[in-house]
Structure 1
Amino acid sequence: MFKKRIKTEVVPASEYTNYSDRFHGDEKYATLRHVAMAATIPSTVAVGTGLFMFNKFNGAHSSTITPVTAPVQQPILEPVVAQIPSVVPVNSIAQPTGIIADKSLEILATALDPVVQILVAISFPIASVIMVGACFFFMLGNSEKAWSMIMNAGLGYVLINLSPLFLQILKQVGEAV
């Protein structure tokens, strides 16, 4: 009696409803006025954007042109004496200064800092949702999957919150090398 099999049957939505209960009167069908309004709004925006971009790149704005009335002064030129060394090393190897590497590392760290902060900020809500979802597996009798999901969510949360520390350590190791 309790183990009776229930056969499910998929019925297309068109057999049991035409969604007419959602609309009243003439709202069931789109009129020519609705179609015309739906078509004019995107085209109006597109034309306006096109005109703005055309004027922006063709220099049609008069406020950007400023007349200059100051007199132009000629610079005083002085002769430059070049000092040529008497001995030029032939087999010299350029020593790396590290200025470009340091700046690029600083720029990259500065650019990725907000991304790391956002990921750390959203890690708790996501881990919470995953843990609550795992509790449903307990109710469904799949406790192995539930414990696995809870452990993975907890480990992921801890590692995400420690990622700024890991990045700082990686940066200092890179500077030491």
Structure 2
Amino acid sequence: IMLLAYIAALIVLHRTRFGRNVYALGGSVATARLMGVPIARTTIAIYAIGGGLAGLAGIVYSIYTSAGYSLATVGVELDAIAAVVIGGTLLTGGSGYVAGTFFGILIMGLIQTYIVFDGTLSSWWTKIVIGGLLFAFIMLQKALGWATTKGRRPGNASATRS
């Protein structure tokens, strides 16, 4: 099911008008409006798809664990956000790829597997390491964003030298 959702997201986000609308809306609502993107319809569709996928994930998890405990996945939000950010998606929006998120998931899985199977560290260390990685990637995004905006300033002499 995950593989089907991944392939569908890859195709929809990178090959359809709806996918381009999603990226435009993520970049800037004002810019998307100027481009003629139907803001309300796209936003509602994004939330509907997200809700449907969250419901599907809940059903799959309930089947997997043979239980319906609603608090079983409390704290997984950090893992989801970290996987997306580690995969290269900007928190400011408008930039990111499904394949990058997939590699972010793989990196997090490797970290969690190593810490849990090593046996010398508590499982809480996975949250600490993932939180540290998330912080590092957010700082890296901020630094890169700051460096690129500094280089694009009209009065910046270093950007105009040949």
TM range (shorter): under 0.3
Structure label with greater radius of gyration: 1
Q: Quick check: which one's helix share is greater?
A: 2
Task: Give the TM-score, by structure 2 length.
Answer: 0.25
Task: Give the TM-score, by structure 1 length.
Answer: 0.24
